[in-house]
Structure 1
Amino acid sequence: MSPSSSSSFAPPFTASGRSALVQAPPWHYAGWLVNVGFSFDAARGAALVPPEVGVATGHGCVHFADWQSCGDDGREMLDPVYAQYRETIVVLEIEPARGDTSRRCFYCPLIYVDQDISMLRGWLQGWPKKIGQTWLTRSLPLIHPAAAPMAAGSRLGASLSVKERRLVDATVTLSGEASGPLGFLAAPTIGAIGWPDLTQAGHVAVPRYLRADIIDRVETGWVQGEATLRFHEHPVEELALLGPVQATQASAGWMGLTVRGAIAV
């Protein structure tokens, strides 16, 4: 099949394009998030932040998210195995290496997801996604012991496991008070995209740095809380290179956004 006979945005490349893993943007997302801000030894951030993008400040955020997503036609909403997924996003605050160095921004060195569709969408935006299993307490609109309502005293938990090994644990106790946005919800976030070329075996990929082009963001408001956070050692994953971390702030809530592409930085 010649390239001109394919209608696919991404592999597999077929004449109809129907079986492509990812359709072209825009991509619409809505979800429930538990967010935990943390501090760490800023010098350790050099292991995860490329010097081309900046220097770690010693502050970061972990986002545990339960998402639902779709394209413009909304067809995934009727077949939710294609729409729903959970992920854990780690972002580190940086002082940018270029541009406005006073502007707050983040770099995403690590992110884990349980859905192949989301993984490819993420790679195309610069989010370096790998497969992992995220669990987080849901808040339901009920006054009930099992509902974790958005009220003072409600307790939430979240965890991430990668290759059947625990990598992150967190707990949040809600205060009932309003919170501002944290992490990638508060400032632009940079990621890296790069592909090895097997026609040049042995050459490593040269990354480009992007941020998602996000529009139509909506929120219900964030409820703050107090948190605990722990990163575990892992034989492959490098999150624990940040060393001991201290939870500094936390929030939970719902949001929606649309990604229409990516912007080079």
Structure 2
Amino acid sequence: MAQGFNSFTAPYTASGRAALVPAPPWHYAGWLMNVAVSLDTSRSAEVVPAALGRLTGQGCVHFADWQATTDGSELLDPVYSQYRETIVIAEIERPDGKRYNYCPFIWVDQDISLLRGLLQGWPKKLGTTWMTRSLPIEHAAAAPLRAGSRLGATLTVKERRLVEARLTLTGQPGQPLGFLTNAVVGSVGLPDLTRPDQPPKVDWVLPAIQGKVASDWHAAEAELSVLPHPVEELSLLGELKVTGASVGWLGMTVVGASPLAK
């Protein structure tokens, strides 16, 4: 925090009101479409630093429609609380054999969420996610949570379609997948412009999460397509082969982070 100021992030002012992101706790609640995948590990060293670990071949693509708040005020002005994102999760095995999740790619449509993510070590970039909502009524437009309901999701980055998903609910109980199953290691670090010839120092952290609650998860069959893109490197994970899918709601609170044990 800037000395004498109350801003947690820029812009720094005495009141702190203009800061893009206030200090935690950050409370999140959202609707999630989760598509578990197997992925190629042959280019693991291009995705995960060797000192951190290696890809195991398991992962997940999450499409999320979030609502977030600090003290409740954002819920009264929802342009500050709502956003959608697409999250790519890859399971990694540490050199000591322990397994964690890792996020190599993630795209979001809200600057507040983007900066919150970077502070936690999630490599957020801007992208546009659209996804079907399930509404609690029995109606043709509601995509109710029952067998046969069909849902879709798309991600567009820099006006180019990158990911498409189609889900059909089976009517069976589902499972939590991806980042819902294990802690996610974040990579926190920024370059120093006084030393542009040196790479940034990166620290690995684990989120401190409290108050995690979830609905029942609903199983689905899924199809997932990744389209070519001139810049994004999702292709480093090879063909993403669907191994399972589920939908549901999640709530959680991030209160900080802690260093990953060496």
Alignment CA distance shift 1:258-1:177 (3 Å) = same
Q: TM-score, normalised by structure 1?
A: 0.95
Counterparts of residues 238-249 of structure 1 (less than 5 Å): 238-249=233-244
Cα distance in 1 for partners of 2:139, 2:105 equals: 35
Q: Does 1:27 align with 2:26?
A: yes
User: Which position in structure 2 is the counterpart of 1:185?
Assistant: 180
Gaps of 5+ in 2: none
Alignment CA distance shift 1:77-1:248 (3 Å) = same
Counterparts of residues 77-226 of structure 1 (less than 5 Å): 77-98=75-96, 101=97, 103-226=98-221
Large movers: runs of 4+ above 4 Å: none
Cα distance in 2 for partners of 1:3, 1:112 equals: 29
Amino acid corresponding to residue 135 of structure 1 in structure 2: W
Q: Deviations over 1:145-204 (max 9, x none)?
A: 110011111111011111011111111111111112100001111121111111112222
Superposition deviation, residue 5 in structure 1: 2.6
User: Which position in structure 2 is the counterpart of 1:74?
Assistant: 72
Cα distance in 2 for partners of 1:44, 1:172 equals: 29
User: Which position in structure 1 is the counterpart of 2:232?
Assistant: 237
* RMSD of Structure 2 on Structure 1 (CA): 1.3
Name which of structure 1's ranges 48-57 and 157-166 shifts more when overlaid on structure 2: 48-57
Q: Does 1:11 align with 2:10?
A: yes
Is the 1:109–1:191 Cα contact (8 Å) retained in structure 2?
no
Cα distance in 1 for partners of 2:180, 2:122 equals: 15
Is the 1:177–1:224 Cα contact (8 Å) retained in structure 2?
yes
Gaps of 5+ in 1: none
Cα distance in 2 for partners of 1:3, 1:225 equals: 48
2:258 alignment partner, SS class: strand
Superposition deviation, residue 210 in structure 1: 1.2
2:145 alignment partner, SS class: coil
Q: Deviations over 1:105-160 (max 9, x none)?
A: 21111111000000111111111100000011000001111100111111110111
Cα distance in 1 for partners of 2:207, 2:108 equals: 17
2:43 alignment partner, SS class: helix
User: Which position in structure 1 is the counterpart of 2:48?
Assistant: 49
2:138 alignment partner, SS class: coil
Q: TM-score, normalised by structure 2?
A: 0.96
Amino acid corresponding to residue 18 of structure 2 in structure 1: S
